[in-house]
Amino acid sequence: GSLSTNVVLIDKDNNVVSRRYLPTASKPINAIQRGLKEVYEEIGNEVIVKAVGTTGSGRYLTGDFIGADIIQNEITAQATAAIAYDSTVDTIFEIGGQDSKYISIENGVVVDFEMNKVCAAGTGSFLEEQAEKLDINIIKEFEDMALHSEQPVRLGSRCTVFMESDLNSHQQKGAEKENLVGGLAYSIVQNYIQKVVGDKPIGNKIFFQGGVTNNKSVVAAFEKIIGKPIIIPPHFDVTGAIGAAILARESMHNGDKTRFKGFDVGKTEFKLDRFTCKSCTNLCQIQRVRIDGEKKALYYGGRCEKYEIEERKGKGKDIPNLFEERTNLLMGDYQEKAEEKNGKTTIGIARALMLYYQQFPFWRTFFEELNFDIVISDESDHQLVKKSLELMVAETCLPVELIHGHVENLLKKEVDHIFIPFIVNIKAKKDNPTSNCNCPWIQSHPFMIRSAFTDEKIREKFLIPTLHLKYFGRVLNNELSKFMKEKFGISKSKTVQAIKKADLAQIAFEESVKNRGKEVLSNLPKDKKALVILGRPYNTNDPFLNLRLVEKLINQNTLPIPVDFLPLEEENIFDEYKMVYWPNSQKILAAARIIQKNSNLYGVFLGNFRCGPDSFVTHFVREEMNGKPYLHLEVDEHSADAGLITRCEAFLDSLEGYQKVKSNKVSAKQKHEEPEDKLEGRTLYLPYASDQIHMVAAAARSCDIKAEVLPEQTEIDLEIARKYTNGQECFPMICTTGSFLKKLMEPGFDADKASFFMPDHNGPCRFGEYNKLQKVIFSRLGYHDATILTPSNDDSYAELAQEKSGKFRFNAWKGFVAVDMLKKLSQEKRPYETIHGQTNKVYQKHLNELIKSVESGAKNVGEVLNRAGKDFSEIQLKNGRRKPVVAIVGEIFMRDNPFCSSNLVDRLEALGAETIMAPFGEWLQYSTYRYWRDSKWKGNLKGMFKAKIQEFGQHISANSLTKNVRELLVMKDEIEVKDMLERCEPYIHRDYDGDPPIALGSASALVESNISGVVHIMPFTCMPGTLICSVSNDFRKDHNNIPWENFAYDGQEDAAIDTRLQAFMHQVEEYCTTNKFYEVTHA
């Protein structure tokens, strides 16, 4: 293994005769030799070795070195040892140095398993590193301190880097070492339960195995958290080796002789070196082991079988590589032209993402019809990854990171232009109710790339038209025609004709894929497992990116099948997933349904670390599979072949067990019907996001709906939610889920009298998936009677108040405008108040009055604002210069939510700032604009008219209300949506739906009102927020280098937050002084 090397000798009854637990110390062969030598010295003369097995991450290297009879994956080995000790065991927890494993067993066979993905925070190496930093001994001192901890600190279940930061933060705040260590014990368990076990079943006879089992504090933490006893089997730290030995013995038949080279191999001299294989662009780093007395060297580290030993070569030769076939269909007769110029303009297309792996026939045909030459980038390889990591300006998923290297590769090929369009959405069938939009990073990667290449001459090469393929025909024709006319002077008639031919080529490709799929599915081999690779084509079809997964599976004698070979069109996923608007996610879910129903198909779900859609889709796939085992793999730029092979081998072994204990009849997924009226006889509970939510509840009550705002989130809400989520979902999703569950879990609470408010959204960000996942979580916990109300912006939230929806919207809108004014007054007054807390008292008093006013029909909102203005004007203020003003922009749930923003406003004020925040109402005005724009694309004149009426009403009522306090404000003017959308254009197109256009546009406008800094707040891993981060350097340069801070937060306190804000405020003070903003007096 990675940290330890275990050598075990057992007899025919599985008794351990001799054992060694040794540090690997990055030298596995030396550790094996030492172990063999010590075992031989202890007992070697008294035994005859009948069989040898190896397991662990270094199993092939060590197996070949010593002459193993069987080389087995760790899952099977660990389970074999546990079952041999107690055949009734049903669950195994195993935590090793770098891997954590969960194994589910039924009737003595493995039926399911899971391993940690990229994150190592739930492994032994993490504990060892932290113990070393705390200067304590991991072997005994750690557990003693942890078991004496009275108040273990909360470290959550984040990845290693952030947990270390949290630990430092608690340490700096004076937490006792015992409580730090106790927190670490809990954290490794929480990480394991949430990220490895997830929602898989934990049985009643649980074995805990692996080196970490030696730590009694971790055992105690497991028992505390899961509420069940943990059994520690004998020799728990070497169970993998015991299992390998048992399997080796069972593999030997009458007369078989062992291949073991003898104990003398422990003394054999060997030489170890490395070289780079240059047979292909992978440039694999090959390890070579030359053993004295043996003619052939051993080789490891290759991604193909070139250096494999003979007996492991050539497996699966009769199995077609359907992914290569798909690529051939995709490419057609395309051949890259010779490097000599032929007079034609060259268009570069990156061999990456959807543009190539799904739409290449369309774009190739389109450009060739218009007399351009197409040049595609080279295949992905190590150098492309390295270059991508150097170029990228924000961390995304690996496929989006990788396109940076592909673009740079095209620049080296000296193409005239590089085509990286902003594709908002793609073609959809008429029965598709969604926007069918691409995910935020697929949409916006052209803007990230533009930001990454700062040379204007390079930027001029980029072709970035905005395209709406969903509105194929009139809208797309106009968009492409206008772009091609402006850029190349090509007439509209020629462009439209090229679009038609391109569409025919694309349809032909897709039909050829379906037809080949029909052939394959009607002739599935009976002696091989058929594995559908669930994933996005730019993952599943890029051999380098997926670590040559397809070849590895073929070598395991299985038939890997691409997703689009399946009859996906036969599945209507919108009966349950009406707002899964990402096209590739729709395909993954449709494929999962097909796999679940077909006893001859199994699934391998290939995803990426940091994939936003997958943080939700993984939950939905599990629901669709309904207990049928599938393998979930996650890759990033650090993934290694060894871990991938282990998981594949273990999965195939587990399928053998699954087929033994499960009947061929696949159980149907249970559905729980929701009542048509989700509010009848119920109270509507709204999650707190800001004080404006009180206006939603009050407006609902004005329409005779019982409605309550749940309390502001706390750490308890997060702790509850994180038990039932995977940690990769958006922070607002976790916060609101925690609020809902905390309410449902109240003693005596009646779920069938409750409905929870979580709006729908039409993309591209993950917000629209919240309510579906929350329904899934409710169902898993047995809260089938609770409903979730999901009104949509598409119909102006009519579902909430039905026939009174107009009244509801108008009352809520007036409340929003009024609370925005109260907020603005508070932020302008509070930094200068002479009596601490006076501003907040005035604010709270009039907020309560507004709630009552809106609840009663919102007729006297103006009067409330008038009285508020008088009270605010009477607050005693310090005279003097105005403090530097910091604008807060970003995610709407977080920016005005004290707990979920880490009290950002208070922190900035304490550091000497006055703050200004974009009003909540701007989002509603932006939504109205989008309603008008979408109606225009759809040709919906009624929708366009309705949107304009709504816009007019919002404008008139807002002006009427704000005049009551406008003269009291220093910053009087609100920013119009039209102005915001014009100002965002240098960084991102206005048709990107979500925070980025309004955050960048409003920040740009505010810079002109003499602000001295901008804080952009976002949930940790927020996809739209990442886009803003990626273009923020360009924004700063264009706006006099104004200080800008990207502040990502996920509820975990961190000492670095204070440090960063202090450094930011230092820049703000300097900027304010340099620009002489101090000359303005506040009072």
For the packed helices 861-873 and 941-962, what is the interaxial angle rounded to 10 degrees? 40
Query: Are residues 319 and 557 in contact, defined by beta-carbon separation less than 8 angstroms?
Result: yes
Residue 505 CB partners (closer than 8 Å, separation 6+): 332, 361, 362, 364, 365
pLDDT at 665: 45
How many angstroms separate the CA atoms of 979 and 1001, rounded?
7
**What does the pLDDT look like over 976-1001, one tens digit per residue?**
999 999 999 999 999 999 999 999 99
How many angstroms separate the CA atoms of 234 and 236, rounded?
5
The two three-digit tokens of residue 633, written as one number: 């793999």
Q: How far is CA 949 from the centre of its chain?
A: 39
* 347 in any annotated domain: yes
- Residue 190 sits in the same domain as residue 257: no
Average pLDDT over residues 276-282: 80
Residue 501 CB partners (closer than 8 Å, separation 6+): 365, 366, 369
CB atoms within 10 A of CB 572: 12
Half-sphere exposure of residue 382: CA atoms within 13 angstroms, side-chain side: 13
- Asked which of 730, 759, 794 is the last residue of a domain, the reply is 794
Assign 3-state DSSP to the chain and report helix, strand, coil percentages, each to 5: 50, 15, 35
DSSP annotation string for 1001-1040? HHHHHHHTTT--EEEEEEETT-HHHHHHHHHHHHHHHHTT
The two three-digit tokens of residue 629, written as one number: 């085992």
Q: What type of residue is 340?
A: E
CB atoms within 10 A of CB 307: 18
Q: What type of residue is 723?
A: K
CATH number at residue 193: 3.30.420.40
How many angstroms separate the CA atoms of 796 and 925, rounded?
12
Q: How far is CA 554 from the centre of its chain?
A: 29
The two three-digit tokens of residue 412, written as one number: 């080296």
DSSP annotation string for 894-947? HHT-TGGGTSHHHHHHHTT-EEEE--THHHHHHHHHHHHHHHHHHT-HHHHHHH
* 945 in any annotated domain: no
How many angstroms separate the CA atoms of 824 and 821, rounded?
5
Domain of residue 1007 covers 881-919+974-1083
Closest CA to 919 of 820, 789, 985: 820
- Residue 609 sits in the same domain as residue 696: no
Question: Considering the chain, what is the average pLDDT of its residues?
Answer: 91
Number of domains in the chain: 7
Query: Are residues 642 and 100 in contact, defined by beta-carbon separation less than 8 angstroms?
Result: no
How many angstroms separate the CA atoms of 938 and 741, rounded?
39
Residue 253 CB partners (closer than 8 Å, separation 6+): none
Query: Are residues 1033 and 1064 in contact, defined by beta-carbon separation less than 8 angstroms?
Result: no
pLDDT at 199: 79
Q: Which residue has the higher pLDDT, 669 or 333?
A: 333
The C-alpha R_g of the chain, in whole angstroms, comes to 31
Query: Are residues 181 and 149 in contact, defined by beta-carbon separation less than 8 angstroms?
Result: yes
CATH number at residue 778: 3.40.50
pLDDT at 490: 98
Query: Are residues 510 and 564 in contact, defined by beta-carbon separation less than 8 angstroms?
Result: yes
How many angstroms separate the CA atoms of 639 and 621, rounded?
23
**What does the pLDDT look like over 92-124, one tens digit per residue?**
999 887 788 999 999 898 988 988 876 655 677
* 908 in any annotated domain: yes
Q: What type of residue is 371?
A: N
Average pLDDT over residues 141-157: 86
- Asked which of 312, 341, 368 is the last residue of a domain, the reply is 312
Q: Please, what is the Cα angle at 450 between 447 and 455, to 5 degrees?
A: 165
* 836 in any annotated domain: no
Residue 927 CB partners (closer than 8 Å, separation 6+): 793
Question: Strand 707-709 relative to strand 683-686: parallel, antiparallel, unpaired?
Answer: parallel
- Residue 1039 sits in the same domain as residue 897: yes
DSSP annotation string for 92-158? EEEE-SS-EEEEEEETTEEEEEEE--S--TTSHHHHHHHHHHTT--TTTHHHHHHHT-SSPPP-TT-
DSSP annotation string for 804-827? GHHHHHHHHHHHHHHHHHHHHHHH
How many angstroms separate the CA atoms of 232 and 245, rounded?
20
- Residue 892 sits in the same domain as residue 1031: yes
Query: Are residues 776 and 737 in contact, defined by beta-carbon separation less than 8 angstroms?
Result: no
- Residue 704 sits in the same domain as residue 758: yes
CB atoms within 10 A of CB 1074: 11
Query: Are residues 54 and 245 in contact, defined by beta-carbon separation less than 8 angstroms?
Result: no
How many angstroms separate the CA atoms of 876 and 880, rounded?
13
pLDDT at position 394 over 50: yes
pLDDT at 973: 76
- Residue 72 sits in the same domain as residue 103: no
Query: Are residues 103 and 646 in contact, defined by beta-carbon separation less than 8 angstroms?
Result: no
pLDDT at position 777 over 90: yes
* 548 in any annotated domain: yes
Q: Among 733-737, 877-881, 910-914, which stretch is predicted with the lowest mean pLDDT? A: 877-881
Average pLDDT over residues 699-704: 95
**What does the pLDDT look like over 3-34, one tens digit per residue?**
889 999 999 999 999 999 999 888 999 999 99
pLDDT at position 940 over 60: yes
**What does the pLDDT look like over 475-525, one tens digit per residue?**
999 999 999 999 999 999 999 999 999 999 999 999 999 999 999 999 999
Closest CA to 983 of 1021, 1035, 920: 1035
Half-sphere exposure of residue 846: CA atoms within 13 angstroms, side-chain side: 27
Q: Which residue has the higher pLDDT, 159 or 55?
A: 55
pLDDT at 44: 80
**What does the pLDDT look like over 998-1037, one tens digit per residue?**
999 999 999 999 999 999 999 988 999 999 999 999 999 9
How many angstroms separate the CA atoms of 955 and 971, rounded?
18
CATH number at residue 535: 3.40.50.11900
Q: Among 150-154, 157-161, 203-207, 830-834, which stretch is predicted with the lowest mean pLDDT? A: 157-161
Closest CA to 222 of 230, 233, 212: 230
How many angstroms separate the CA atoms of 369 and 384, rounded?
30
* 544 in any annotated domain: yes
* 557 in any annotated domain: yes
How many angstroms separate the CA atoms of 760 and 798, rounded?
12
How many angstroms separate the CA atoms of 848 and 852, rounded?
6
> Taking phi first (over 0 means left), then psi (-120 to 50 degrees means alpha), and beta for anything else, what does residue 26 get?
left
**What does the pLDDT look like over 554-603, one tens digit per residue?**
999 999 999 999 999 999 999 999 889 999 999 999 999 999 999 999 99
- Residue 486 sits in the same domain as residue 556: no
* 405 in any annotated domain: yes
**What single DSSP character describes residue 667?**
P
How many angstroms separate the CA atoms of 864 and 870, rounded?
10
**Per-residue confidence at 1082, pLDDT binned at 50, 70, 90?**
low
**Per-residue confidence at 838, pLDDT binned at 50, 70, 90?**
very high
pLDDT at 1037: 96
- Residue 748 sits in the same domain as residue 893: no
- Residue 202 sits in the same domain as residue 284: no
Question: Strand 346-349 relative to strand 373-376: parallel, antiparallel, unpaired?
Answer: parallel
How many angstroms separate the CA atoms of 885 and 1010, rounded?
8
- Residue 136 sits in the same domain as residue 202: yes
Q: Among 145-149, 702-706, 722-726, which stretch is predicted with the lowest mean pLDDT? A: 722-726
Closest CA to 839 of 794, 792, 787, 905: 905
The end-to-end CA distance of the chain, in Å, is 69
Three-state secondary-structure class, residue 683 = strand
How many angstroms separate the CA atoms of 482 and 803, rounded?
43
Query: Are residues 994 and 440 in contact, defined by beta-carbon separation less than 8 angstroms?
Result: yes
Q: What type of residue is 382?
A: H
Q: Which residue has the higher pLDDT, 301 or 68?
A: 68
Average pLDDT over residues 212-222: 92
For the packed helices 641-661 and 74-85, what is the interaxial angle rounded to 10 degrees? 40
- Bridge partner list, 417: 347
Three-state secondary-structure class, residue 10 = strand
- Residue 63 sits in the same domain as residue 188: no
**Per-residue confidence at 880, pLDDT binned at 50, 70, 90?**
confident
Q: How far is CA 99 from the centre of its chain?
A: 20
- Asked which of 291, 312, 333 is the last residue of a domain, the reply is 312
Half-sphere exposure of residue 21: CA atoms within 13 angstroms, side-chain side: 12
Largest alpha-carbon pair distance within the chain? 100
How many angstroms separate the CA atoms of 105 and 108, rounded?
6
Closest CA to 468 of 123, 936, 153: 936
- Residue 464 sits in the same domain as residue 535: no
pLDDT at 332: 96
